[in-house]
Chains A and B, each alone.
Chain A
Amino acid sequence: MSAVAIEGVWKFYGDFPALQNISFNVDGGRCLALLGRNGAGKTTLLRMLAGLSKAAKGSITVLGGDARAEKTRQRIGVLGHGIGIYEELSALENLRLFASLYGIQNPRQAAMEWLERTGLDRVSDGLVREFSRGMRQRLAVARAFLHNPALLLLDEPFTALDDRAIAVLQGLLKSALAEGRTIIMSTHQLREALELATDVALINRGKLAFRGDRSAEMLEDPGWLYRHYGEA
């Protein structure tokens, strides 16, 4: 069954068509690497999947329902361009807030568990405004994973992470895949993304240029896809 079904989706910013007639499905338990140059439309598409913006034309079905339905949002974890973390709150307070919003039974316990898993348990009471960029990104990852979502929408998740943090995130994503969760991630870090991905979609100036399984040649040569299907 498709976790995400996108059918003939268009999105305009003024007169500019940011997305043009995009259609594809992502089956449950798969990891899709959403690739494309800057301004291709990856973030726009992810925002629509997260229910943050609406398509001008076409339809989007997420986990069998509308992206804005409360039940759907309950099962989606979103990590956008911005980290979605409050500067004036501590790491623990941030996660407890979102745990409450997601209706988790014991917000403190869930928050502490994810602070440990992302290596932030020692600074749980530290204010986010005092965190380094990498620590903030790890906290944002914890926020996205906090409620064990069935679908993870990740926009540039490896940004600002050091090697160790990238390894932690890759481990979390592998575990999520092993548990049958679906992942859609946009990134420019092709090697890290393609190592995880089972599927690949390439967007080129708002149009779907390629959609298929990740092949062995993509893994060997991450630039291969851009050379064959991307703009010159």
Chain B
Amino acid sequence: MTFLRQALAIAGKDLRSEIRSKETVNASLSFALVILMLFSFAFDPSSDQVREIAGGLLWLVYAFAGTLILNRSFARELVNDCLDALISSPASGAQIFFGKCLANYLLLMVVECVSFPVFIIFYNARWPARWALLFLVMLLGTWGITVIGTLFSAMTVNLRLRELMLPTLVYPMLIPALMGAISLSTLLIAGEPLSADDTIWFKLLAGFDVIFTMLSLALVEIVLVG
């Protein structure tokens, strides 16, 4: 209970700061919308080809927009050396990490939920009949992006080129999760049935999330303190 209480205190602090400053959500959302709009100019929205790559388009936008949120996650702690104050408090590295993950997850989900209807409009797609399954894919895929991104945000926080380093490090790590999320999203947006073989992507996404959450919780203390 103490673990969750302290993690929630940190998540609440991050969300409150974000609500007041709006520095990452505004940037991330604007970026997502602009990319969606630009892609809609690049492809013919009514073509079958677009439906085949719909999942890929969507998750690339989510991954790009996500790094804008994740980049600031630990960087915002550098102002006034707040990271030192957090690390020297009784909250463990795992609690700090988990709290930040929860806040980033919520912010990224907000960006995704706002940009998805825009995607539907721009790409002339139908609202998916199995939207609940698609939402599950979004929940699982976004948690993967969040966990990996938050860990690397902690690792790169003291680098001068962190804005460049974070995506460079994060995207290769995300390949399995993105593959699963893209495959499932494409099928669900196109309204095609999911075969037994396709459900393996759900298992992959869930496995990816569990493994990397555990690994990150175990490693983050070393990342933060050395």
Partner-B contacts on A (CB < 8 A): 47, 50-54, 68, 70, 73-74, 76, 78, 80-89, 93, 97-98, 100-103, 127, 136, 143
Contacts and interface: CB of A to CB of B under 8 A. Distances in A.
A19 B2 CA distance: 37
Q: A-B pairs with the 7 shortest C-beta distances?
A: A82-B81, A84-B85, A88-B17, A100-B9, A101-B89, A78-B88, A88-B20
B88 A97 contact: no
Nearest to A69: B90
A42 to B, nearest CB: 15
B226 A70 contact: no
Contact of A103 (B2, B81, B87, B92): B2
Contacts of B2: 103
A82 B81 CA distance: 5
A73 B226 CA distance: 17
Contacts of A53: 225-226
Contacts of A50: 84, 88
Interface centre among B5, B20, B84, B85 (most CB of A within 10 A): B85
Contacts of A93: 13, 16
B6 A100 contact: yes
B84 A84 contact: yes
Interface in B1-40: 2, 5-6, 9-10, 12-13, 16-17, 20-21
Interface residues of B, number: 26
B80 A84 contact: yes
Contacts of B21: 88
Interface in B169-189: none
A85 B9 contact: no
A102 B20 CA distance: 25
B82 interface: yes
Given A70-B90, A93-B16, A102-B90, A87 B81 contact: no
A88 B82 CA distance: 12
A88 B226 CA distance: 29
From DSSP, what is the main secondary structure of chain B's interface residues?
Answer: helix
A75 to B, nearest CB: 9
A51 B16 CA distance: 28
Contact of A74 (B13, B16, B20, B90): B90
Contact of B225 (A54, A82, A101): A54
Nearest to A70: B90
Contacts of B5: 100
Contacts of B12: 97
Contact of B89 (A73, A81, A82, A88): A73
Contacts of A98: 85, 89
11 contacts: A50-B84, A52-B87, A54-B225, A73-B89, A82-B82, A88-B16, A88-B20, A98-B89, A101-B6, A101-B9, A101-B89
B82 A52 contact: no
A80 B89 contact: no
